[in-house]
């Protein structure tokens, strides 16, 4: 019953209640995540995202269900998302290597590649300012949605929306300003989300 009181305070936005719950559960959850991911940095990111979700969705916490099970369900879903992304990135890398082997021609080495790269840069530059900044931070600098959200002080869902819309705009630009094979090849390079 003591925990229900803390959960009620959390639902009302009490940061101390949130901190208490974090310290109560974070160690055990982190250990379970680390056991599966085998990467401290990834495990810390997943744990951080988990508690961010708890805070953002605190009004939806069901006091009739065990809070610990709620946390582990969120952790499990975040790990599934992580492993799906890892698998997708692996497939993407394999496709990129295959595409590079098909489209790479040594005689084209200097000029055509620069043309292709310039086409991609023009596509990125035509994006609205914030969307362009989000896209560059994510796709070029390799920052996570959470890092970008913290840096720009916007939500991760807004980051996701910017990336989806940027990808769509860039794809459309490449289709209009280059041959299909080149556009597809370049698109494989940038469409990681």
Q: Could you say which DSSP state residue 153 is in? A: T
**pTM higher than 0.95:** no
57 is written with which tokens? 């969705």
Residues 6+ apart with CB under 8 A from 165: 131
pLDDT given at position 168: 83
Q: How far apart are CA 165 and CA 53, in angstroms?
A: 23
Q: Cα 140 from chain centroid?
A: 13
Q: How far apart are CA 17 and CA 145, in angstroms?
A: 26
Low-confidence ranges of the chain (pLDDT < 50): 1, 106-108, 181, 192-193
Domains of the chain as residue ranges with CATH: 2-82 (1.10.1740.10), 107-190 (1.10.10.10)
**67-103 vs 40-56: helix crossing angle, rounded to 10:** 120
Q: Identify the H or E element spanning 47.
A: helix 40-56
pLDDT given at position 42: 86
| Structural contact between residues 82 and 37, judged by C-beta atoms closer than 8 angstroms | yes
pLDDT given at position 193: 43
Q: How far apart are CA 31 and CA 131, in angstroms?
A: 36
Tokens 């890092």 correspond to 147
71 is written with which tokens? 């946390």
């Amino acid at each position: 019953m003591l925990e229900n009181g803390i959960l009620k305070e959390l639902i009302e936005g009490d940061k101390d209640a949130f901190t208490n719950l974090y310290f109560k559960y974070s160690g055990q959850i982190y250990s379970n995540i680390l056991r599966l991911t085998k990467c401290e940095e990834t495990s810390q990111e997943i744990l951080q995202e988990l508690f961010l979700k708890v805070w953002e969705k605190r009004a939806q916490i069901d006091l009739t269900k065990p809070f610990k099970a709620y946390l582990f369900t969120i952790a499990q879903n975040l790990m599934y998302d992580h492993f799906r992304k890892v698998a997708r990135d692996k497939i993407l890398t394999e496709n990129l290597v295959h595409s590079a082997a098909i489209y790479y021609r040594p005689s084209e080495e200097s000029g055509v590649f620069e043309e292709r790269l310039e086409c991609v840069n023009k596509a990125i530059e035509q994006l609205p300012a914030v969307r362009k900044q989000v896209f560059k931070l994510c796709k070029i600098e390799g920052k996570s949605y959470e890092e970008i959200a913290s840096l720009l002080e916007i939500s991760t869902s807004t980051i996701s929306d910017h990336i989806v819309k940027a990808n769509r705009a860039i794809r459309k630009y490449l289709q209009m300003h280059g041959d299909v094979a080149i556009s597809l090849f370049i698109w494989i390079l940038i469409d990681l989300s």
